[in-house]
Amino acid sequence: MIEPLTLLTIVLMAGATYFTRIAGYLFLRNRTLSPRLVTVMESAPGCVLIAVIAPNFVSGRPADVIALAVTVLAASRLPILPTVVIAILSAGLLRALLP
């Protein structure tokens, strides 16, 4: 069984996402976006992602901050799976070693 409120959330999410998928085709197929708007739309998803994880950068716990730095380094050069493993291991180890 699924909670009605969870179902409603999922359906509204899916509706919003489908809207973004067809909007460009429906409204912009005969026009061109200004370069400025293209630049803004290219950086928008990254702005959202970094805002979501912003609290991790100011947790104030030395172990977590170092583990996050290790994770940033891993993410900049490795694919998803090794990065996640390194992130989990470094956080687990550092929390055990540091106060």
Radius of gyration of the chain (CA): 20
Give the per-residue contact string, 50-69, with other proteins (x = CB under 8 A; - = no): xxxxxxxxx-----x--xx-
Residue pointed to by tokens 């956080």? 91
Give the CA angle between residues 43, 16, 48 to the nearest 5°: 25
Shortest Å, Cβ 53 to other proteins: 5
Please give the backbone phi and psi of residue 90, each rounded to the nearest 5 degrees, phi first. Answer: -65, -40
At its nearest, how many Å lie between other proteins and the CB of residue 63? Answer: 10
Tell whether residue 9 is a contact of other proteins (CB under 8 A). Answer: yes
- 60 φψ region: left (φ > 0), alpha (ψ -120 to 50), beta (else): left
Check binding of 4 to other proteins (CB under 8 A): no
Q: Which parts of 10-39 interact with other proteins (CB under 8 A)?
A: 10-14, 16-25, 28-29, 33, 35-39
Rule CB under 8 A: say whether 97 interacts with other proteins.
no
